[in-house]
Amino acid sequence: MSSAKPNRLIHEASPYLLQHAYNPVDWFPWGQEAFSRARELDRPVFLSIGYATCHWCHVMEHESFENPAVADLMNQTCINIKLDREERPDIDQIYMAACQILNGNGGWPLTIIMTPEARPFFVATYIPPGSRHGRMGMLELLPRIGQAWKEQRAEMERVAAEIEKALHNESRQETTPFSIRGQNDVLPILQQGYEQLKSRYDSEYGGFSSAPKFPTPHNCVFLLQYHLLDPGSNALQMVEKTLQSMRAGGIFDQVGLGFHRYSTDREWLLPHFEKMLYDQALLAIAFTDAYQLTGKPFYAGVVAEIFNYTALDLSHPDGGFFSAEDADSEGEEGKFYVWTQDELESLLGSGTADFCNLYGVMYDGNFHDEATHARSGQNILHLPADFFADPENSLESMAVQREILRTARIKRIRPLLDDKILTDWNGLMISALARAGRTLQKVEYLERARKALDFVHEHLRLSDGRLLHRFRNGQAGIGGFLDDYVFLTRALLDYYEASAEVWAFKQARELADWTIQLFGDPDGAFFFTATDGERLLVRKKEFYDGAVPSGNAVAISNFLRLYHLSGHLLYEETAHRVRKEALGLANRYPSAYTELLQALIFEYGDPAQVVIVAPDASDARKLLNQFHRRRFPACVTLFLCPENAADLIPLSHIVTGKVAVENRTTFYVCRNFTCQAPVMEAKEALDLLGRKV
């Protein structure tokens, strides 16, 4: 550790803030102390937002925040705040919106200069220390800001007022009234979403953009569901090509497993190397659904690889999941992951030629310097893009070589582990484990989901039932956001339907009730921040899907599922209220809202309620397996037996009066809460369901 004196960030929990704790910049964490000091000294506020595994955040720190000349100017001109966007997504959302309004794009590091009232008047992303390539540097920018603050204050205040007004207008987007009377109104929206994705689809390499190319697994999940509505479409083919190409590409860690954040090219070869927990979770769901629809073992195998990676490298011993691994090690992006041909020959010996041929290794390398584009002799391991299209292809013959490389790589200096545990991202991973556990009949996945739920309940839930957002090193903090509540609610529902454990259903209902109380808007969708949260420049609602699905879209699905599981009208009314506001935006460009489209498929797929009444719990769980092998997107399942009746009946009107006929396991298939005659065989119940999916 540096012998330099630490700044205030040394007392913070965030790994990102701790990375900057020995900068010569006089950093403050976000809080009233910083803004009070800005008002006292009459200075603007320099807000720098990033996250621990952000490559360009590291670049800006090394170039500017570790630079004494830049730090001196920052300290003389501004009050400086460093913020972890993953700890405070509410603040990040506001200032990223300002950046997008003014610049038409965004990214991290995000640089905001603002008044002591937190009103921005200058926004940028990465800023070099000195001006270059037409981009003003810190050494030129800061003196201009200081001079303008003294001599052109009225103009800066005017700009800040205009940006604040634009943020308020953006947060109160007027939605076009959009009424839905039935399935005929929904199908055109779903079809438009499909057609838009199809128009962007890369038929050669998969994915839905050129470069850079992001995984966007929620698009794949929507397309898999759309395929069930329109089997004649190309939806399934697009998903299969995309998933297979990603697994073959450099975006997948061919040695240590797990997916990197995104690909900088359209071939999925050259990734940004950070690995995020949410990507692993959402991709595991997409591969699970692909397996359930196709029955191809390849997809189940990739799910196992993702979960192996998270178990080895992103798991807390007590059950929670860490956030991410960095792209950089020893100051270089990707150094931990790449290989020279000489290294491979020294490790693999006689097996080198076949390995290099399969994994695309070249002597002069396939990994080029991002600035000069010169080849470095380094290689990112990858497979031919169409490798997995042939079910006869196998990687078993290279298992020994991959293990040799994995063992050798362990000796390298690893990238930083961002070991904070976030409630929302853990909710995503728990959902992935629960869905895979039920679909693939893997008890160990359900056990890991249960262990993670127990961790969150113990460390991130307050005694009154509310949630906290972040846990690290034994300390939890930051009041929960909408995503924390809705992602964890979905995880509990997924776990309940996979395990039949009523406590999970009960906790899901409790969190749903808290969601309404803390985030609800009587006139529309949910706010991202709670009613008792910190008062910020604007209180935002989020609808479109970004790297993670929209919290409002997930909320709609949750409340629809809860309505069909419980029969309580409040949940249906809440879902419809949120959906109305969300659809007013989504109908303009539905492919940006594919999580919402999934909720529409559920709601207008004539959802079925299946009640399995069994003489004992073990009998019911055995029969669950038969349901989970079939795919019914618009279906919820309840399990009633003597052991859980006292707990389940108060939670659900639907199970009332349901009995095991002749003391045999009995199936009730219901739609619109009207049940058909009970049947005694799982196959009969599945046939009843299959008549209308």
Furthest-apart CA atoms within the chain: distance in Å: 88
Interval 9-33 mean pLDDT: 97
Contact in structure between 614 and 643 (CB atoms under 8 Å): no
Selected residue with higher pLDDT from 644 and 171: 644
Residue 399's pLDDT is what?
A: 93
Residue-wise over 405-422: b if at least 16 C-beta within 10 A, else e? beebbeeeeebbbbbbbb
Per the prediction, the chain carries an average pLDDT of 93
Interval 421-448 mean pLDDT: 97
Residue 693's pLDDT is what?
A: 34
Angle value at C-alpha 688, between 685 and 693, nearest 5 degrees: 115
Q: Are 299 and 401 found together in one domain?
A: yes
Give all strands (DSSP E) within 334-489, no chain letters.
Answer: 367-368, 375-378, 417-418, 421-422, 468-472, 475-479
Q: What is the pLDDT of residues 173-231, one digit of tens each?
A: 656 656 777 777 889 999 999 999 999 999 999 999 999 999 999 999 999 999 999 99
Residue 8's pLDDT is what?
A: 97
Confidence band (pLDDT; 50, 70, 90) for 368?
A: low
CA distance 418 to 390: 37
Encoding tokens for residue 171? Answer: 């947060």
CA distance 405 to 407: 5
CA distance 269 to 584: 38
Residue 292's pLDDT is what?
A: 93
Q: Is 384 helix (H, G, I), strand (E, B) or coil?
A: coil
Confidence band (pLDDT; 50, 70, 90) for 134?
A: confident
On whether residue 520 sits in a domain, the answer given is yes
Residue 372's pLDDT is what?
A: 46
Q: Are 543 and 684 found together in one domain?
A: no
DSSP states of 138-203: HHHHHHHHHHHHHH-HHHHHHHHHHHHHHHHHHHT---------SHHHHHHHHHHHHHHHHHH--T
Residues 6+ apart with CB under 8 A from 462: 468
Contact in structure between 113 and 46 (CB atoms under 8 Å): yes
Q: Are 581 and 649 found together in one domain?
A: no
Residue 182's pLDDT is what?
A: 72
Backbone Cα Rg of the chain: 26
DSSP-assigned beta bridge partners for residue 668: 611
On whether residue 343 sits in a domain, the answer given is yes
Helices 138-151, 153-171: crossing angle, 10 deg rounding: 100
Q: What is the pLDDT of residues 310-366, one digit of tens each?
A: 999 999 999 999 999 999 999 899 999 999 999 999 999 988 999 999 999 999 998
CA distance 645 to 638: 11
Q: What is the pLDDT of residues 512-526, one digit of tens each?
A: 999 999 999 988 899
Last residue of a domain, one of 419, 453, 479: 419
On whether residue 161 sits in a domain, the answer given is yes
Q: Are 387 and 460 found together in one domain?
A: no
Distance of CA 18 to the CA centre of its chain: 24
Q: Are 125 and 232 found together in one domain?
A: no
Q: What is the pLDDT of residues 449-463, one digit of tens each?
A: 999 999 999 999 999
Q: Are 333 and 435 found together in one domain?
A: no
User: Is 541 exposed, middle or buried (CB count within 10 Å of its CB: 0-12, 13-18, 19+)?
Assistant: buried
Q: Are 66 and 145 found together in one domain?
A: yes
Confidence band (pLDDT; 50, 70, 90) for 620?
A: low
Q: Are 612 and 521 found together in one domain?
A: no
CATH number for 80: 3.40.30.10
In the chain, % of residues over pLDDT 90: 83
On whether residue 646 sits in a domain, the answer given is yes
Residue 634's pLDDT is what?
A: 87
Q: Is 636 helix (H, G, I), strand (E, B) or coil?
A: strand
Confidence band (pLDDT; 50, 70, 90) for 93?
A: very high
Encoding tokens for residue 515? Answer: 């969601």
Question: Over 50: is that where the pLDDT of 1 sits?
Answer: no
Contact in structure between 83 and 46 (CB atoms under 8 Å): no
Q: Are 571 and 437 found together in one domain?
A: yes
What is the Cβ-side half-sphere exposure of residue 321, based on CA atoms within 13 angstroms?
A: 33
Encoding tokens for residue 284? Answer: 């595991």
> In terms of Cα–Cα distance, which of 341, 348, 617, 357 is closest to 502?
617
Reduce the secondary structure of 312-338 to three states and give it as a string.
Answer: HHCECCCCCECCEECCEECCEECCCCC
Last residue of a domain, one of 568, 601, 634: 601
CA distance 482 to 520: 10
What does DSSP say about strands 635-640 and 608-613: parallel, antiparallel, or unpaired? parallel
> Quick count: other Cβ atoms within 10 Å of Cβ 112?
24
Last residue of a domain, one of 583, 601, 619: 601
CATH number for 655: 3.40.30
Confidence band (pLDDT; 50, 70, 90) for 692?
A: very low
Question: Over 50: is that where the pLDDT of 279 sits?
Answer: yes
Angle value at C-alpha 284, between 255 and 479, nearest 5 degrees: 110
Residue 374's pLDDT is what?
A: 47
Interval 25-39 mean pLDDT: 97
Reduce the secondary structure of 35-100 to three states and give it as a string.
Answer: HHHHHHHCCCEEEEEECCCCHHHHHHHHHHHCCHHHHHHHHHHCEEEEEECCCCHHHHHHHHHHHH
Instruction: Find the domain containing 465 and state its range.
Output: 421-601
CA distance 560 to 466: 22
Residue 539's pLDDT is what?
A: 95
Q: Is 368 helix (H, G, I), strand (E, B) or coil?
A: strand
CA distance 257 to 379: 16
Q: Are 402 and 495 found together in one domain?
A: no
Q: Are 334 and 443 found together in one domain?
A: no
Q: Are 58 and 23 found together in one domain?
A: yes
Query: How many domains does the chain divide into?
Result: 4
Confidence band (pLDDT; 50, 70, 90) for 286?
A: very high
Angle value at C-alpha 560, between 556 and 566, nearest 5 degrees: 140
Residue 523's pLDDT is what?
A: 83
Amino acid, single-letter form, for residue 239 = V
Q: What is the pLDDT of residues 252-270, one digit of tens each?
A: 999 999 999 999 999 999 9
Contact in structure between 612 and 665 (CB atoms under 8 Å): yes
CATH number for 473: 1.50.10.20
On whether residue 452 sits in a domain, the answer given is yes
Residue 177's pLDDT is what?
A: 57
Residue 173's pLDDT is what?
A: 66
On whether residue 202 sits in a domain, the answer given is no
CA distance 406 to 257: 10
Q: What is the pLDDT of residues 102-122, one digit of tens each?
A: 888 889 999 999 999 999 999
On whether residue 453 sits in a domain, the answer given is yes
Question: Over 60: is that where the pLDDT of 373 sits?
Answer: no
Encoding tokens for residue 118? Answer: 């937190």
The DSSP symbol for 524 reads B
Residue 153's pLDDT is what?
A: 95
Let me know how long the chain is. Answer: 693
On whether residue 197 sits in a domain, the answer given is no
Q: What is the pLDDT of residues 588-615, one digit of tens each?
A: 899 999 999 999 999 998 899 999 998 8
